[in-house]
Amino acid sequence: MIKLWMMTSLQLAELFVSSIVHLLYGFYIFSSAVAGDISQTLNDYLFKSNVAFGETGQNQTNVEGLPPIVLVHGIFGFGKGRLGGLSYFGGAEKKDERVLVPDLGSLTSIYDRARELFYYLKGGVVDFGEEHSEACGHSRFGRRYEQGQYPEWDEDHPIHFVGHSAGAQVVRVLQQMLADQAFEGFEETNENWVLSVTSLSGAFNGTTRTYLDGMRTDDGVSMKPICLLQLCRIGVIMYDWLDISWLKTYYNFGFDHFNISWKKTGVRGLVDCLMGNAGPFASGDWILPDLTIQGSTSINSNLQTFPNTYYFSYATKRTRRVMGMTIPSGVLGIHPMLFLRVFQMSQWKFPQDVSPPYKGYRDEDWQENDGALNTISMTHPRLPVEHPSRFIRSDSECQTLQPGIW
């Protein structure tokens, strides 16, 4: 009894600490974006320079030139134009106008992101597909992209994709959709529309962090009743229901196709969402279920590594092994928000009483991590079948590039 009580209070304390840390961090990002914008505006106003800032015309495409590079963000990520002048990719999109940074929603599912990404590039109204949208209870059609960012996109004008974290998986799903001709009205798509995929800490095989944040270990789809993700769920529903337009242009979770706004659902809709009868969290059509080991396995079972595409992946870790134990690699050099998670993930053990997510699962394989993902998940797709790969320590080992292998 006392032991149970101790465990519960320890868990509550942990929940309290992690929610405060995450809230503070979110607030810090948000306020630095606002501060950045204000100082930029003041600057422009005080020192009106005769150099044109920002957009240099609408010439984003260049048929003769090199293929564009599309940077795909991960969870809680955002594209160009969100959070004011802040850049998710450290300003990479400012270096060249052929670098594109789409905004795919920060908590939307991998499937929905891949659909959105296609129309962002090709242009048109986002079509989530009839079957999927019915199953998940959202509108079939989403945002309209009047002008695609790369309308000439096809087999002869392929694109380089760079995906961070969940973004890497989004690109793989998109490539499979292209191969499967899954976009109505675009029957000529194929896998060779993708010239290369570069994954930065890609979430290929899921992450044990999802369980620490509150996903259930037995199914990998639903949440525990009390956890960080539940707080996040309530926050997101309120944010979307209140639908304050300037806030939403600033930061958007990407659930507009679920019609959560009070203008569309009223108070009853809010109650329905909060009770878990409607919305993305009810149907599981959001990012976390896609990032559990079970979720990734089910996505991966339909994804191929294609022979003509170049695949690169960069894996990261913030742990080291000391006397058979995996521990965080240091106090400095790890972001304070991630430190606790690096530690927790390095100690993570799958509960004994539920069946492991796949045959041959071993806790020690999953202990190396960077606070968000397990290193083993980042190198190449492995679940449910291992895809071809070659481990490279330094770029010099990789003289000639070879397609069809990670």
Ligand X SMILES: *[C@@H]1O[C@H](CO)[C@@H](O)[C@H](O)[C@H]1NC(C)=O
Please report, as ranges, the residues that interact with ligand X according to CB under 6 A: 57, 59, 62, 138-139, 205, 259, 264, 358, 360, 365-366, 376-377, 382-384, 386
**Which C-beta is closer to ligand X: that of 103 or that of 285?**
285
Q: Are 119 and 145 in contact (CB under 8 A)?
A: yes
If you ran DSSP here, which 8-state letter would residue 69 be given? E
Closer of 218 and 363 to ligand X (Cβ): 363
Task: Read off the tokens for 33.
Answer: 């974006």
d(CA 343, CA 177): 37
Instruction: Return d(Cα 245, Cα 399) in angstroms, integer.
Output: 51
> Least distance in Å: CB of 279 to ligand X?
10
- CB burial string 153-188: b at 16+ within 10 A, e below: bbeeebbbbbbbbbbbbbbbbbbbbbbeebbeebee
Q: Which residue is nearest to ligand X (CB)?
A: 57
Q: Kindly tell me which of 77 and 220 has the beta carbon lying closer to ligand X.
A: 220
- Report the Cα 151 to chain-centroid distance in Å: 24
The nearer residue to ligand X, 58 or 399, going by C-beta atoms, is: 58
Q: Name the minimum Å distance from CB 135 to ligand X.
A: 12
Report how far Cα 63 is from the mean position of its chain's Cα atoms: 29
Q: Which is nearer to ligand X, 111 or 366 (CB)?
A: 366
From the number of C-beta atoms within 10 Å of its C-beta (0-12, 13-18, 19+), residue 304 rates as middle
CB 223 to ligand X: min, Å: 22
Shortest spacing between CB 132 and ligand X, in angstroms: 12
Residue 78 beta carbon to ligand X: minimum distance, rounded to whole angstroms? 23
Q: Minimum Å distance from CB 199 to ligand X?
A: 15
Question: Cα–Cα distance between 170 and 72 in angstroms, integer?
Answer: 8
Nearer to ligand X, 189 or 305 (CB): 305
